[in-house]
Amino acid sequence: MAKIDFGGVWEEVVTAEEFPLEKAREVLKNETVAVVGYGVQGPGQALNMKDNGIRVIVGQREGGASWEKALADGFVPGETLFSPEEAARRGTVIQYLLSDAGQKTMWPAIKACLNEGDALYFSHGFSIVYKERTGVIPPPNVDVILVAPKGSGRTVRTNFLAGSGINSSYAIFQDYTGRALERTIALGVAIGSGYLFPTTFANEVYSDLTGERGVLMGALAGIMEAQYNLLRKHGHSPSEAFNETVEELTQSLIRLVADNGMDWMYGNCSTTAQRGALDWKGRFRDAVVPVFDELYARVLSGEETQIVLDANSAPDYRQRLDKELAEMRESEMWRAGAAVRSLRPENRKK
């Protein structure tokens, strides 16, 4: 492992220098990785491992959209594509990548398919940490491990194809074989992680649930809506309001942050922007602290977990989700966004 200074705090991380792909292939040469669930994370991880020379099979219910996607991606029924139970029986590493609610529902069937010495792999600590609510309690004779890419399943794949990777956290919950750590790191390398950093199942799920509801998705969308609506209220056009709220952020400023950090982005903007941002960032930070405190407390208590399980288990969940997303898509702000995106030079050439 490499010791890296993260702002004055030293952490150990795993990079390709310490654990190259060739070593991962050696560790996994006798393993069959069964990817159970081919929805969000499944395709990216399965295809990256396949491209990296790992023996991969997929477990998915026949007939649905995810089964059809697996077929289109080159998995063959009866050879590399099976039912979830059959894949779990055949695999020595079972990547349990169903939705959190799906993991709860299918757990009794999958548990019955585990063999002594298998590795039960998660990309989210949810089912294990909230076991009282999910019922996911692994048997004592398997390794229980985690590799959690810090990005969407789609990005796991696109970054891999672009020659980069998504950073991932990793954790060991149960080490039955004595090989759990090397299996975990090898799998993290095989799915194309940029680098790997250690965590625990609990820390992974607490940070993940907070991040998704906070800066990564919930807070971002909410703040965008608030600014867009304010500008529209004061007479700014939809195009102007959207460009000043979303387009400039996603197409320009966030890329500067990604390249060299927030201070570098500030340093490469106008002096008017610099001064205003520095003066106001503290006020925004202080304003949302109570909201984040409440959010984290609800994550720790399991309240957010129960909401997810109840909502995702409802028979009309997909219809209600589609309705909520349609309302967002059909709002003036995001209809303006569709128009703005259509005017980008790369889209006008199509």
Buried b (16+ CB within 10 A) or exposed e, 269-291: eeeeeeeeeeeeeeeeeeebeee
Q: Which of 50, 89, 104, 124 is catalytic?
A: 124
Single out the residue of 32, 172, 26, 200 nearest to residue 115, CA to CA: 32
Buried b (16+ CB within 10 A) or exposed e, 47-77: bbbbebebbbbbbbeeeeebbebbbebebee
> Distance between CA atoms of 24 and 148, rounded to whole angstroms?
17
> Distance between CA atoms of 27 and 182, rounded to whole angstroms?
7
Is 124 catalytic? The answer is: yes
Tell me if 117 sits within 8 A of 141, measured CB to CB: yes
Q: What is the CA radius of gyration of the chain?
A: 22
> Distance between CA atoms of 290 and 43, rounded to whole angstroms?
38
Pick left, alpha or beta for residue 69 (phi over 0 → left; psi -120 to 50 → alpha; otherwise beta): alpha
> Distance between CA atoms of 335 and 93, rounded to whole angstroms?
44
Enzyme catalytic residues = 124
